[in-house]
Amino acid sequence: MITLTLDPEIEQRLEALGARDDASKSELARQALRDALADLDDAREALERWQSPERSWSLDELEREDDLAG
C-alpha cells in the first residue's frame, strides 16, 4: 500500500480525466504507474541489450522480416 500527496495541478488533471472517462482518480493513477513502470522496464532492457548485444540485425533483415530468432 502506498499513499501519495499530489500537486493540485495533477489532482485536477486526474479529476478532469476521470470525469471524461468515468474512472476514479485512483484507477487513473494506478494505470499511469503501470504504464510508467512498463516504460522504465522497456528502457532498462533496451539499454542492457545495447550495452551487451547478443545478436544484431541489419535494417534489410528487419524489413525482409527474416526469421530473427536464428
The string of DSSP letters for 18-70 reads HHHHT--HHHHHHHHHHHHHHHHHHHHHHHHHHHS-S----HHHHHHT--TT-
pLDDT for res 10: 95
pTM (two decimals): 0.66
Domain definitions of the chain by residue range: 18-64
pLDDT for res 25: 93
Position with higher pLDDT, 46 vs 40: 40
CB within 8 Å of 14: residues ≥ 6 apart: 6, 25, 28, 29
pLDDT value at 52 more than 90: no
Average pLDDT value over all residues in the chain: 88
pLDDT value at 57 more than 90: no
pLDDT for res 60: 85
